[in-house]
Every structure is written in C-alpha cells, then in structure tokens.
C-alpha cells in the first residue's frame, strides 16, 4: 500500500488513520517500539520544514530511523529514477518523497519495492490533508456535521483536502476563482461532485457564514515564489486572488477557525493579524503533521499493516 494521492484510500482507511493519529498524540508511549529497527528514506526535490521534521522526529519516536536525501546530492538526478528507487528500497522499509512532478513520484513508486509516501508534489499533499482531518476532529470532537471552506487557489493542498473531506464525511466548500494549472485533476472534481458533501461557489460571504473552518494556502507554490521568471504570473495572481484574502474584516462575518498548511505568505493569502489571532490553528495543524505521519507509517509498515 502506498500513499500517493489518497484517491485510492477508502473512507475506512482514512478514518482509521485519523483515529490512530489522535491515539498516537494522546498515548505516544504505546507506540514507542512500533517501528523498531525500521528505516524511512526521505527524498526531497523541494524545500521543507514541517514534512521533513515531522517524519524524521516521528519515526525516531516509533523506534526507527530516517535517512535524509537531498535530490541534488544523489544520483537520482542523473540516473533512471526507477533504478535508483529500487536500490533505495533495498536499504529502507518505506520511502517518503517530495517531488516537483507527480509523474516522477509515480515513476519512483513503480521502481520501489517498499511503500512510497507523497510528501507533496505539484498535484497532491495527502499527509497534509490527513493531518488536517486530525486537527478538525480534535477541535470539533467529531467529523460529522463539520463544514470547511477552502478559499484561494485550487492547488495540491486543495485537491487532497477535497478527497480527504469527502471520504471522511466532512462537508467542504471551495471558493477558488482559478486552479493552479499543474494541479488540475478533473476526475477528482467529478468524484467530489458525486459525494453530496462538496460545493463550489465564488460567493465568499455566504460560503463562510456557517463554516467551522476557513482554510487557505499560498497562491504561488514554493518553487516559484522567489523565482524572477515567475514575477509576472505572481503579480497577476495577486491581482486575481486579493479579494479572497483571509483578513480581519472577513473573519467578522464568521465564527470559523482559520487553517493554513504553512508556510504562510503574510499579506498575500492571509494577514499577519489573522495568523497571530486566537482563531488561527495553523500551529496545531503543523504539530499534528507529526502525529498523523506516525499513524501513516504504522499503517503502511507497522506490525498490523494490511497485506
């Protein structure tokens, strides 16, 4: 079993992992020998704070170890990706990869002999979405009758959040005037539309009126944010998405808590004031990445893993 998109995970897989994440958080001592002697290989083509640290510390807390690989200092860059992945899987029990392109992640997974976890690519961020369900569960005490409104650009985070919510019974409304080109997944949207839990609108005020959570992410993915060649597109997006910023005046129209996967780009998709405010739970989300990733590792390579 891999965790590449979340689309192949059943509702039971998702709900059981989220429940286990909560158990990991409250009873870490029960899991301290869960992955004794096991090794997680972590391969990064892009930067990371949360994903790397949450996996590295998480597997150590389970009794295992992590090996960090920066793509640029490996031979992945010049060799056949499947050959290199197969070799890596002879050293490690599980691989987590943050790749620029989803098709390269798929290729890596085809070469690997061990489970592969998507640590965020251009299309999906499943670990984030599972962690976010954990954060919602912990705040609401249930995932029933929960409503999350995702505001801004339809991107990798939005894709995975839509899959996670609709499979977990959480109502999700998206207020997304545009999608990030590489993230487009028409089949995912069609599937969401059949769930009865998914809505699309540009009427922001109506959407947030009964929201439990409002969620946003960067309008420009990390690999482009500081890229001078992306400047014109960045400026265009700022123009398009500025009306969808989460700011204090928007929060006056709802009691919702504010979610953000981080890193936040203050002054763009969200203001500093909102990020520093009592209703922002982004730091809890970041902490929960570690608990959920421990649960994910247990599910994929733990002693009671599904065959």
In the complex, which residues of this chain contact ligand NVA (CB under 6 A)? 120, 125, 155-157, 217-218, 221-222, 261
Q: Could you say which of 120, 129, 197, 220 contacts ligand CP (CB under 6 A)?
A: 120
Q: Could you say which of 38, 45, 51, 156 contacts ligand CP (CB under 6 A)?
A: 51
Contacts with 48 (C-beta within 8 Å, 6 or more apart), sequence order: 98, 119, 120
Residue 49 touches which of ligand NVA, ligand CP, none (CB < 5 to 8 A by kind)?
Answer: ligand CP
Three-state secondary structure of 196-220: CCEEECCCHHHHHHCCCEEEECCCC
Give dist(CA 124, CA 118) in Å, integer. Answer: 8
Q: Are 107 and 80 in contact (CB under 8 A)?
A: no
Minimal distance, residue 157 CB to ligand CP, in Å = 8
Contact between 284 and ligand CP (CB under 6 A)?
no
156 versus 176: smaller Cβ distance to ligand NVA: 156
120 versus 170: smaller Cβ distance to ligand CP: 120
CA-nearest of 109, 97, 22, 112 to 67 is: 97
Contact between 128 and ligand CP (CB under 6 A)?
yes
120 versus 207: smaller Cβ distance to ligand CP: 120
21 versus 131: smaller Cβ distance to ligand NVA: 131
Strand partners, 257: 213
Minimal distance, residue 156 CB to ligand NVA, in Å = 5
* Residues in the chain, overall count: 307
3-state helix, strand, coil in the chain (%, to 5): 50, 15, 35
């Amino acid at each position: 079993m891999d965790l590449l998109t979340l689309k192949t995970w059943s509702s039971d897989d998702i709900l059981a992992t989220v429940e286990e994440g909560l158990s990991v958080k409250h009873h870490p001592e029960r899991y301290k020998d869960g992955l004794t002697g096991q090794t997680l290989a972590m391969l990064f083509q892009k930067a990371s704070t949360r994903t790397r640290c949450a996996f590295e510390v998480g597997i150590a807390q389970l009794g295992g170890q992590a090996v960090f690989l920066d793509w640029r200092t490996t031979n992945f860059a010049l060799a056949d990706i499947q050959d290199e992945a197969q070799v890596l899987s002879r050293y490690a029990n599980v691989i987590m990869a943050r790749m620029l392109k989803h098709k390269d992640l798929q290729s890596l997974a085809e070469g690997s002999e061990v489970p592969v976890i998507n640590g965020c690519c251009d299309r999906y961020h499943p670990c984030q979405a599972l962690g976010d369900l954990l954060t919602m569960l912990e705040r609401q005490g249930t995932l029933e009758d929960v409503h999350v409104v995702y505001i801004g650009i339809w991107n990798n985070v939005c894709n995975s959040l839509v899959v996670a919510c609709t499979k977990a019974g959480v109502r999700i409304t998206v207020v997304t005037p545009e999608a990030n080109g590489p993230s487009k997944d028409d089949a995912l949207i069609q599937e969401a539309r059949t769930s009865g839990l998914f809505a699309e609108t540009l009427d922001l005020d109506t959407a947030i009126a009964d929201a439990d959570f409002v969620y946003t992410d960067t309008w420009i993915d990390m690999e482009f944010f500081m890229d001078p060649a992306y400047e014109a597109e960045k400026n265009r997006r700022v123009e398009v998405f500025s009306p969808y910023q989460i700011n204090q005046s928007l929060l006056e129209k709802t009691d919702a808590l504010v979610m953000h996967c981080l890193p936040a780009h203050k002054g763009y998709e969200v203001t500093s004031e909102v990020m520093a405010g009592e209703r922002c739970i982004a730091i809890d989300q970041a902490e929960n990445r570690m608990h959920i990733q421990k649960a994910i590792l247990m599910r994929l390579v733990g002693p009671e893993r599904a065959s």
